[in-house]
Amino acid sequence: MNVHSIDSNNLEDYYKKLFKYHAQHEPIEVKAFHNDIIRCANECETIGELGVFQGCTLAAILMTKPKQVYATDITLKTINPWIKLFQEYAKDNKINLTFNEMSSTDSRCVKQVDMLHIDSFHNANHLRQELKMHENSVKKYIVFHDTKSQNASLQSVIVEMINSKIAWAIDTHYTKGNAGHTVIKRIGS
């Protein structure tokens, strides 16, 4: 299956097919990551995502039916063929969905959210900038993807932040497979 050939007329079907595509090489890792995204999203009413790409995790987030979702990416061209599926699902489920085509370090995309998922530009300095801008606007969880890749440089930034801020603790650090993911939780939330 080629991801560009996915033919779907609703978000649930799109998610199922895209999830299957992503899971074909690392099924346990992808399932664990999505389970953690869904677990955290189920506790949240407002969610932000930095790095939408094809929208696989965005679809998972929407299907938890939060009240508000902000989806930000430097370009929406990868999700554009299916963007109407997201918009229709949001409308049918009374979810206020906003797409932002801009850098995740643009101050216009900083929103007060319960949860933030970061899967944007996989670079330690960029993540450091994102955390500096967004961390204070997140009430409960920050979920990071690909924390094992890039010689774990993203994980190092997360640990650096946690060590300098008493407000956050590691909830989950998944290191199996190639990508890895980390969830941090605001203490007291």
Q: Tell me, what's the pLDDT at 11?
A: 98
Instruction: Retrieve residue 91's tokens.
Output: 């409308």
In order along its 189 residues, the chain shows pLDDT tens digits of: 567 788 999 999 999 999 999 999 889 999 999 999 999 999 999 999 999 999 999 999 999 999 999 999 999 999 999 999 999 999 999 999 999 999 999 999 999 999 999 999 999 999 999 999 999 999 999 999 999 987 889 999 999 999 988 899 999 999 998 899 999 999 987
Q: Give Cβ neighbours of residue 124 (< 8 Å, ≥ 6 apart).
A: 150, 153, 154, 156, 157
Q: Tell me, what's the pLDDT at 2?
A: 66
Q: Tell me, what's the pLDDT at 10?
A: 97
What is the identity of the amino acid at 178? N
Domains of the chain: 26-186 (3.40.50.150)
d(CA 65, CA 177): 29
Q: Could you tell me which of 96, 60, 55, 59 has the C-alpha nearest to residue 76?
A: 55
Judge contact between 50 and 109, C-beta under 8 A. yes
Instruction: Retrieve residue 58's tokens.
Output: 């965005």
Judge contact between 26 and 95, C-beta under 8 A. no
State the pTM of this model. Answer: 0.96
Q: Tell me, what's the pLDDT at 188?
A: 81
Q: Tell me, what's the pLDDT at 1?
A: 59
Q: Tell me, what's the pLDDT at 150?
A: 78
